[in-house]
Structure 1
Amino acid sequence: MKISSLDHFVLTVKNIEKTIKFYESILGMDVIRFADNRVALKFGAKKINLHEGVLNN
């Protein structure tokens, strides 16, 4: 199988606001806020949907 494109993926993070600060200020990504407190980071036509959750080591 060969992947030809990717619309989005989900990144589980410990703290959404800290993640937004990094990706927005350092990498210049745009923040998109949806209903139900959902958040995505946009770069070009692609996006990273953020999900806050418990990270296991």
Structure 2
Amino acid sequence: MERGFSPDMTHGGTARHLWVEGVFEKSMWTGYKSKGRRQYFVETFRCAACGALRAYATEPK
């Protein structure tokens, strides 16, 4: 497993969820520092039988 974080992107109006590698570092301009870090879009899947959720970060941004 790799350490990373999922920034709150709701203010910008985006519907895509992100995972960013590393420890969260605040940035005055974008809210978090992302330069030079790998970023992935996150997809979440739901089990129709029990409702369990699983999230996967597989598509590079």
Q: TM-score by structure 2 length?
A: 0.28
Greater relative contact order structure (CA < 8 Å, 6+ sep): 1
- Higher Rg: 2
Give the helix-richer structure, 1 or 2: 1
Query: What is the TM-score when the length of structure 1 is the normalising length?
Result: 0.29
